[in-house]
Every structure is written in C-alpha cells, then in structure tokens.
Structure 1
C-alpha cells in the first residue's frame, strides 16, 4: 500500500475535500464507489468528515456552509497544497496576484489552512500541517493519484505558482500544451488549458484524479448511482481515464493508470 507518513514538501498537493449539498448522500456515494469509510464529524468542526481507505485518511467531505448573508460556495472538490507556513503563503499569494478567499484559520490541533484563487480564477487550498499531514494513502485504487490545474491562461498560472507556492511548470516531451508541475526535481501534478470536453464557460479549476482498477466499470457504477459522464473512458499516454460528476454535480476524474502518480513519499 502506498502509505504516506512523512510531511509533504511545500507546494505538493497533500489533500482534497468535497463541498457537498447533501453530506450524508456524498458519504454514501463515495463509500460505494471507492470503498471509503466516513461519518459526519463533530459540530465544532462543522461536521467535517475525514474519509478513510484501509484505515488511512484519503479525503474529506463537508456540507455547504457560508457566513450569514453570503452565498453558498459551489459544490465541488478542492485541492490543497502543502505549506510550512500558511501566513507566509498567504502573503506570497497576494503579492503574486492571487486572491485570498478565506484567510488563514486554525483547525484545532490538526493544522492551519486558507482558501485562495490564482490569477486565472482557479480555487485551491493551502494546508500547514500540525498533527495532520494530509492524505495517508495515495496511488492505489480509491485514493488520490493526480491533481491537475485546468486554466484559462497557462502562462499566467505558471508565473504565479512558482514564486507563490514553489510549483514550477515544465513542458513534457510528446505532450504539446501539457505541463508538469514540479517541486524540486519531483513531478507532483499537471497543468493544461481548459479542455474542450468541458462545458463552454467552465472556469479555471483544479481537478482531482482518483485511481481505479477499471475505468469502464467504475463509470458504469457511477452512472447507476446517479452520477454523470462528462468525458467517457478513453485511452491516453498515462492510461485509461474518464471525467465524471457525482450525483450532486462535483466533477472529478478516474484513471486506470500505473504511470500517473501523486508522490507516495514526500
């Protein structure tokens, strides 16, 4: 099992969570699809559920909420990038033209976090670990395997993420228009222009990819459970993948791909 026990290096995607309109329904859906185990958490943490796979934390699911008078945030998955200092990251994000949506906050004794948008509008989180490093299992069926920035402006995004968070873009031979995102000499994610199979007007966003044993059968199960197919399973350089939405509309990708890897050792 690809277990992660050491802290993630700054800039590395380290966690994903889902904002759901119906938290219990989302917990039930992902339990059946990926084998996750989770339940609604304590009220003091907003009921946040940490989902487990083989007794290791794999992702979070929470209910939509907003301060009084504010609109609810959209249903969707958020990618969190690791930081050694959330306050310093917040300053760097602002200095490089990003927008702080939710300022640095304490999450009990587990960590410190913020939510921001890059200059192209893609929303992401920053996580500074205290007691909790993030995903404890990756790169196996049911777990996170890749994080991808789909952006309206790859040049602007590349200029932002390197000085702000330490993510350096690089071209990939044989994959024109696709960029790796690197921390040091390690590839930790990808970046591309917003793909044409997404709906016109889709904003810049980070997409979470989950590993599966069989992309076709996973998509079949998702449809039977009320989900939708955005891009049917297709073969690509890294394996066989599909882009889908859960029954509440949260978009993500599944990939049957031993080559596509999120770091299994920070």
Structure 2
C-alpha cells in the first residue's frame, strides 16, 4: 500500500464533542478480548472496566479513570475485519441514520440504546467505509484528549474525495476545504471554521483486503519508541515513522490486523 497521508491536525486539542459531525468516540471489535486488552494496555497505558451489557461483551478503555475508547467482542463465527471505528456526534441518531440511507449509505447496527449512556448506530458510506453515530445522553464520548494514548485525528481513506466529501457533508453540513499540495486528492472537513476530520482519495492504492476505511491516529510521546514497543507486543508496521508537517507518524496494525496510526505531534 502507499504511504498513509499526513494528519491534518490543527492543534490536537479536544473538539466540541456535541457538535453534530464531530468525531466523539472510538471503538474496536476483536476476536480475542484478553489479548487486545493486554496489547493496548501495554502500548498506551490503558486500564479497562466492563462496558454496558446491552452492547454485548466489551470493556471501556480508560486513562486516569477517563474514557478513551471501547473494545468489544465479535460474535463467535463472525469473520469480519478487525478495525477501529470512529463515531460521529448526532443530535438525533434515528434521523441521521435515515439520512445515511437516503444518501446511499447503509445502517448495519441500530439505532439502539447504549446502556443509558447514549444512542448509537453503526453504518457505512456508499463505498463501504464503516463509521458510527453517537447521540450523547449521560456520556458524551471520549473524555480526554491531547495526551499520549488518546485519539488525535481521524481520516477517511477512499477512492476519491469528491463523492465521499459530498456524502458526509450532506449528513453533517461540513465545509470541505482542499488540503496539501495541488496534485493531492485531499480535503479537510470543517465545522465552525475548524478541521475535524480528513478525507484522502488514493484510488487503486487502497489495500485490497480493506477497501475504503477510516483511520484513527493515536497520540504518543515518541513515535519511534512506541513503534518498537508495538512490534515487541506482536503488532506490525505498515509505514515506518516519518516526519510530517504536524508531527512524526507511523502507520501500524495490532496483532489482529486493525490499522491505526501513531503520532507524536510537533511542538
């Protein structure tokens, strides 16, 4: 696969999580819960607590007692790709889910109640990239940002930006703005004048076993050290650490193959 694009991170600080369209939480569905907890606990220093039973076997990933993400157990016999899924904030998940369908996407899970914490749905855009919707109730989503072990950016890797940006803009009213060099098919999705996510069109360079997908960037203190630790824990490096405008980035997978990026932001 080609080198992952550099993140379009404005400053790494927490966004206004309740603004519709803002990435507000992340989750990972895995085959081996114990192994996933051991891996991410060692890599990011996460601790874990049981998650809402309504959503099936799963845990909340915590840093200093504040939620960073969630890890759930795939149903036995399901051989779905293991992947990190970003959730986009919605004021009304049922209405947004219907809009997803009207715009050519699909809803595979929900809408349903998330254990009293919020209402959620999981769907995909017309090109197959999976994302979630989250309507906050008692729980707004990710509770900490801007420190190692937390999500710092989300980027959609897809065939081309025009159609994908139009789809998501129809859902959330983003303002897509070209990003990077003139010959790069990249846009940043803006809300209230600030970028909240990116879209990168890579055409046929998409990995054949994944197709279009969202990529989550996790902040680390030292990308090279974190990459070495990841490999020692059984992960794999897809793109070695390199310097970008916003920091030093490596694209990696966990032992089950879930892709994500490690990034130490430039000071």
| 2:27 paired residue number | 17
- Residue 117 (structure 2) pairs with residue 110 (structure 1): yes
| 1:214 paired residue number | 222
Q: How does the TM-score come out when normalised to structure 1? A: 0.88
Query: CA distance change for structure 1 residues 198 and 239 in 2, over 3 Å: closer, same or farther?
Result: farther
Q: Is the 8 A contact 1:5 1:136 kept in 2?
A: no
| 2:66 paired residue number | 56
| Range 204-213 or range 193-202, more displaced | 193-202
Query: CA distance change for structure 1 residues 179 and 3 in 2, over 3 Å: closer, same or farther?
Result: closer
| CA–CA separation in structure 1 for the residues paired with 2:238 and 2:203 | 11
What is the deviation of 1:101?
1.3
- Residue 94 (structure 2) pairs with residue 84 (structure 1): no
What is the deviation of 1:44?
4.5
| CA–CA separation in structure 2 for the residues paired with 1:143 and 1:37 | 13
Query: Structure 1: which 5+ runs fail to align?
Result: 260-266
| 2:46 paired residue number | 36
After superposition, residues 1-266 of structure 1 pair within 5 angstroms as: 7-41=17-51, 43-65=53-75, 71-172=78-179, 174=181, 176-194=184-202, 199-200=207-208, 202-258=210-266
How many residues are aligned here?
A: 255
Query: CA distance change for structure 1 residues 206 and 3 in 2, over 3 Å: closer, same or farther?
Result: closer
Deviations along 1:126-181, one digit per CA (max 9) or x if unpaired, are 00011110000012111110000111121110110011133332112546322111
Deviations along 1:202-238, one digit per CA (max 9) or x if unpaired, are 4000111000111001000000111001001011121
Query: CA distance change for structure 1 residues 101 and 257 in 2, over 3 Å: closer, same or farther?
Result: same
| 1:264 paired residue number | none
| Range 41-50 or range 215-224, more displaced | 41-50
Q: Is the 8 A contact 1:197 1:231 kept in 2?
A: no
Q: Is the 8 A contact 2:68 2:151 kept in 1?
A: yes
Query: CA distance change for structure 1 residues 205 and 131 in 2, over 3 Å: closer, same or farther?
Result: same
**Partner-residue secondary structure (3-state), 2:189:** strand
Q: Is the 8 A contact 2:176 2:187 kept in 1?
A: yes
Query: CA distance change for structure 1 residues 189 and 6 in 2, over 3 Å: closer, same or farther?
Result: closer
RMSD: 2.2
Q: Is the 8 A contact 2:15 2:22 kept in 1?
A: no
**Partner-residue secondary structure (3-state), 2:85:** strand
| CA–CA separation in structure 1 for the residues paired with 2:68 and 2:13 | 10
| CA–CA separation in structure 1 for the residues paired with 2:55 and 2:210 | 31
| CA–CA separation in structure 2 for the residues paired with 1:225 and 1:9 | 37
